[in-house]
Amino acid sequence: MRVFKAGLVTVAAAFVGLAGIATPAQAATGWDRCEAGYFCAFTGPNGTGVIAQYKVGDPDLSDNIGPTGMDDNIESIWNRTGSMWGVHRQIGGQQGWAMGAGAKLGYLGDFANRISVITRY
């Protein structure tokens, strides 16, 4: 019986050690990655997936100027600036949606995975 208990303690200690390596306590996830003062775009809903942060707009998400991989891929946004921003489905600004200061949208509906332009007003 005494040997059995000692074995359990060893297994538990090893598990804790592995968990500590895999998940740093200070790593931000989801919405928390979005820093104050930025317009944040996420490739998944509710702040999931890859994040891109903007201080100025991006007139063409499909080119390699600014963050890449976001064109027709954004599903949620958080506007942590004091300005109004706009997202557009087409180059040139047609089919836009204005996002006021502080706007936090978990899913962009008809705009999800269709945004190609981000504008700061």
Nearer to Ca ion, 58 or 88 (CB): 58
Q: What's the closest the beta carbon of residue 16 comes to Ca ion, in angstroms?
A: 35
Contact (Cβ atoms closer than 8 angstroms) between residue 119 and residue 85: yes
d(CA 48, CA 29): 8
Nearer to Ca ion, 10 or 62 (CB): 62
The residue number with the shortest CB distance to Ca ion is: 66
- Burial annotation 90-108 (CB, 10 A radius, 16+ → b, else e): eeeeeeebebeeebebeeb
Nearer to Ca ion, 4 or 39 (CB): 39
Q: What's the closest the beta carbon of residue 81 comes to Ca ion, in angstroms?
A: 18
